[in-house]
Amino acid sequence: MFPKGTKRKFSDSGDEPAAGGEDVNQPSSVAVRMLSSYSLQRQSLLDMSLIKLQLCHMLVEPNLCRSVLIANTVRQIQEEMTQDGTWQIMTQALSAANAAAQCSADRLVATEVLCRQTEATQGEQVLKPFPAVGSEGCPAEEEVVVEGEGGVTMSTVSPQAPTSYLPGTFGMDPCWEEENGEDEEEDEDSEECGSGSEEGDSDRLVEDSRTAEQVFGTFEIKNPAPSPDPALEELFSDVDASYYDLDTVLTGMQSAPKMGPYDLLESLSSHGPSPLSSSTSCRSDLNELDHIMEIIVGS
């Protein structure tokens, strides 16, 4: 992609471009906005891609070409985020459990705004190069004003804020490796075993992030925190990490996803990408349904 250290310029309609790429601690407010906007866009793209990989038509084998292209996009984003140092920040931040649930809804909104923004800026590149985000330069919270046709204003959290459906430590977490292949009804609240080893894991992650196995290990979706958000809980409550091995994804061996959580997910994001509203019937195991009902009733 972009070689490290190269000053990358961005052009905005009328705004003054930021001077340099290294010093982001005291940039103009525009630069800060554009930085986080790009990171947000990238994050949204990553989220979207991961959702696409999960939501395959379960009755028919998923399209291998599409899965491979999405997987390559995910890997590309991860590589860039690793270079930026954003990846490490994010994996560390996954242990910040409380923020997970709050920002998840915002991120879904971001996907919609991202695409609306894209439509508003005709002729512009979707994802522009931006100065690298310094590892210490991650502001806690910022307002991003998106000037689109609708004049949408949204407040976002920095990339520091984790999302519960982003891959966590990608198979390096020994706790998750144990869970591979085990019964899917195992309790997903594994943050007690996750937090301890996450520091070390994220270091190893940064080093190994470019290996193929590592990258495709990202398909193991983690739910590190007991999220009060019932929609997300339902979505991932019966996720068996082993289901997201690339091999199973690509050969369509996943169990059928449930329609219930996806309706909720769709309602959170008004953009509702088409795979979510797929009308193909999904076969569901009776046990899995019971499990979901327990969660719904329980929360």
Of the residues 6, 29, 102, 125, which one makes contact with other proteins according to CB under 8 A: 125
- 173 scored as a contact of other proteins (CB under 8 A): no
Per rule CB under 8 A, is residue 180 in the interface with other proteins? no
User: Does residue number 122 form part of the binding site for other proteins (CB under 8 A)?
Assistant: yes
- Residue 281 as a binder of other proteins (CB under 8 A): the answer is no
Are 169 and 201 within 8 A, CB to CB? yes
To which residue do tokens 């996803």 refer? Answer: 257
Distance CA 192, CA 63 (A): 37
Position 111 contacts other proteins (CB under 8 A): yes
Among the residue ranges 57-65, 181-189, 201-209, 224-232, the one whose residues contact other proteins (CB under 8 A): 57-65
Report in angstroms how near the CB of residue 119 gets to other proteins at its nearest: 6
Residues 231, 232, 235, 238, Cα dihedral to 10°: -120
Q: How far apart (Å, rounded) are the C-alpha atoms in residues 146 and 167?
A: 27
* Closest distance to other proteins from the beta carbon of 24 (Å): 22
Q: Does the protein bind other proteins through residue 76 (CB under 8 A)?
A: yes
User: Nearest-CA neighbor of 87 among 74, 72, 106?
Assistant: 74
Q: Angle at CA 66, nearest 5°, toward 63 and 261?
A: 80
**What token pair was written down for 43?**
């994050």
Who contacts 289 (Cβ-Cβ below 8 Å, separation ≥6)?
258
Contact flag: residue 285 with other proteins (CB under 8 A): no
Please give the residues from 13 up to 52 whose contact with other proteins meets the rule CB under 8 A. 41-42, 45, 48, 52
Q: State whether residue 18 is helix, strand or coil.
A: coil
The residue (of 1 and 140) whose beta carbon lies closer to other proteins is 1
- For CA atoms 287, 289, 291, 297, the dihedral sign is negative
- In angstroms, give the least distance from the CB of 103 to other proteins: 20
Q: Residue from 140, 212, 286, 297 that binds other proteins (CB under 8 A)?
A: 212
Query: Nearer Cβ to other proteins, position 84 or 188?
Result: 84
Establish if 60 lies at the interface with other proteins (CB under 8 A): yes
Question: Which uninterrupted H or E stretch holds 195?
Answer: helix 191-208
- Would you count residue 69 as binding other proteins (CB under 8 A)? yes
Q: Work out how close the CB of 181 gets to other proteins at its nearest, in angstroms, rounded to a whole number.
A: 16
> Phi and psi dihedrals of 141, rounded to 5?
-150, 145
Q: How many residues in total does the chain contain? A: 299
Q: Which residues bind other proteins (CB under 8 A)?
A: 1, 41-42, 45, 48, 52, 59-61, 63-66, 68-69, 71-73, 76-77, 111, 114-115, 118-119, 121-127, 212-213, 216, 245-247, 250-253, 271, 273-275
